[in-house]
Structure 1
Amino acid sequence: MAMTGILRPGHAQLRVLDLEQATRFYRDIMGLVETGRDGQGRVYFKCWDEHDHSSLILRQADGAGIDFIGFKVLNASTLDQLDKDIQAFGLKTERVPAGDLLETGERVRFVLPTGHVMELYAEKTQIGNGLPAVNPAPWAPDADRGMAPVRFDHCLLYGPNVMANKVLFMEVLGFHLVERILGPAEAGEPEIGLFFSCSHKTHDIAFVEYPEPGKLHHLSFRMPTWERVLRAGDIMGMNKVPIDIGPTRHGVTRGETIYAWDPSGNRFETFAGGYEPYPDSRTITWTFEGFPHGLDFPQGKLHDSFLTVVT
């Protein structure tokens, strides 16, 4: 599939309550690679098999949550065109200058109808994955430190007006709707959960209807296999990381998963599996009655904390 327009999730900036505690967690327990610190005190990380400089940025704050989510686009002309298209849709955009984030070019920032800050960028310095470009080994030394995810995979965000997000993501940003969750029949079966992809992943970003704007449900880190998800669970147990759900398998996306919380209360996911849809694949629908198996397929259970705890 030709990759044009928006390519992939690029980075997310999280608010944490204790920066050094969070740094130790994401570096030593999660196993991310620390790549820098800036004049604002932010700490930058990437997963071992990512080539770009950073995919996770931590910022000290009084409350946990997400500041913004960034997606990488094909090139500068694509960035300019998307800026115009977003403005034509009716959203105000802001140009954030190159260098505001370490090793990152100019960004186009805007606020989604759900209240989340999203940004697009075309340039980020590539620092590699620790392997040569000629005759590389299958993994680098950092691949066995901590849980060692291979990439920042996706995020799930909670907020109001998800249907306005649907129009923006499909008609302006070029995403396709892979799966959706319907509300109860007595409410007219509204779409309350939407899973979008700009690639051939089951989701690069997802939204659930929620009364408060701008909320984070989780950031997801890709594990190469189900076995590595289970190994991550062992590491969580050894380090007394509080687990929300799992290990289990979703019906939605068919993903294999564990959800847990970082020291600040931000939920994260270790994720593997899924399937590979294309833009012309039909959208899969989960009814309100069927969603318990969509969340936790083996148990068919709705977990209260999963549905209510956000940052």
Structure 2
Amino acid sequence: MSVLRLGFVHIRVTDLEEARNHYTNTMGMKVVHEEPGKLHLKCWDEWDHHSLVLEEGGVGLVKLGYKCKSEDDLVEYEKAAQQFGVRTGRVSKGENLTVGDGVAITLPSDQRIELFTDIEYGGTETGALNPDPWPRDQRGIAARWIDHALIPAEDPATVERFFTEVLGFHAAERAITNPSNPELLGSWLSCGESPHDFAVVKGPNAKLHHFAFFLEDWNAILRAGDIMSMDDVSIDYGPTRHGITRGTTIYFFDPSGNRNEVFAGLGYRTGPDFPTISWTEDQIARGIFYIQRELNDTFMSVFT
């Protein structure tokens, strides 16, 4: 069985036109389909039809979609999820625009994820034949792809166990109380070689902490910060470096209050044989914001 990657993020926004401006002009995404009350968008270096769905009417997470390798995987994941004790259901082709049949799962922390194998390809803006390294008509930050998402959970250990035992993810890094009493405070989980494709931290169920856009390097992070200032984007924290994952980052909010991140630098390659790195509670501020070594008021209190 194989989960390939985060396929799409579906969120609610309070004002669709404000959200359109943020995700297209500031983040540099392209609208690939629109209908009353809903937009589908993608980044310039993504192959699938879309990676972000914006739905007008509120704020916060609707669901996360994860792309899997085969139909057989979906059957096995569904059985394993049912044995774990979470709610599952079937998603028919077309319920998600351009996406094939899938399996819906309600996580132990009450967020919804959907597993699928088929989605229409839209192609990147540079194409597959003698491509240029980047498009000349880049917009705004020009995010390359949506990279990962982080959710809160009242019991992050059970969510970690679900992702490792049911979906085959590997915990690359963990935040614990202390080695002698290792209560789990957070887990950064990978389904491939990236430091994390999904993460969970202690917090309220059924919420979203953030989803992240991948940029090329530290220079791109600094440029993104400049554009956010030009566009009067609300910054949560950064630019800075993570200790956990070693990535460079800025956290910020879309006009509705959904937290975004721009993230650069893979930090290291991981895999099933990668020893899990642990951070203790007394060092968690350095783990999250390595340079400043302190957490701001909003980072662990604002969820949507």
What is the TM-score of this pair, normalised by structure 1? 0.94
Residue 296 of structure 1 is matched in structure 2 by: 289
2:157 corresponds to 1:160: no
Q: CA deviation at 1:41?
A: 2.8
Residue 191 of structure 2 is matched in structure 1 by: 198
For residue 249 of structure 1, what is the amino acid of its counterpart?
Answer: R
For residue 282 of structure 1, what is the amino acid of its counterpart?
Answer: P
Residue 228 of structure 1 is matched in structure 2 by: 220
Q: CA deviation at 1:116?
A: 0.8
Residue 20 of structure 2 is matched in structure 1 by: 23
Residue 259 of structure 1 is matched in structure 2 by: 251
| SS of equivalent to 2:282 | coil
For residue 203 of structure 1, what is the amino acid of its counterpart?
Answer: H
Matches within 5 A, 1:242-281: 242-273=234-265, 274-281=267-274
Q: CA deviation at 1:112?
A: 0.5
2:52 corresponds to 1:56: yes
For residue 128 of structure 2, what is the amino acid of its counterpart?
Answer: A
2:210 paired residue among 208, 218, 239: 218
Q: Percent identity?
A: 41
Q: CA deviation at 1:131?
A: 2.4
Q: Which runs of 5+ in 2 are unaligned?
A: none
| Gap change, CA 1:145 and 1:203, over 3 Å in 2 | same
Q: CA deviation at 1:185?
A: 8.2
| SS of equivalent to 2:150 | strand
For residue 66 of structure 1, what is the amino acid of its counterpart?
Answer: L
2:234 corresponds to 1:238: no
Residue 113 of structure 1 is matched in structure 2 by: 108
Q: Is the 8 A contact 1:129 1:140 kept in 2?
A: no
CA distance in 2 between partners of 1:79 and 1:8 (Å): 14
Residue 129 of structure 1 is matched in structure 2 by: 124
Q: Is the 8 A contact 2:160 2:200 kept in 1?
A: no
CA distance in 1 between partners of 2:168 and 2:60 (Å): 27
Residue 86 of structure 1 is matched in structure 2 by: 81
Count of aligned pairs between the two proteins: 303
Q: Deviations over 1:66-85 (max 9, x none)?
A: 11111000022211221122
Q: CA deviation at 1:125?
A: 0.3
Q: CA deviation at 1:270?
A: 0.5
CA distance in 2 between partners of 1:134 and 1:22 (Å): 33
Q: CA deviation at 1:243?
A: 0.5
CA distance in 2 between partners of 1:100 and 1:108 (Å): 12
Q: Deviations over 1:31-85 (max 9, x none)?
A: 11111024x63100111100000111001113x1111111000022211221122
CA distance in 2 between partners of 1:111 and 1:93 (Å): 6
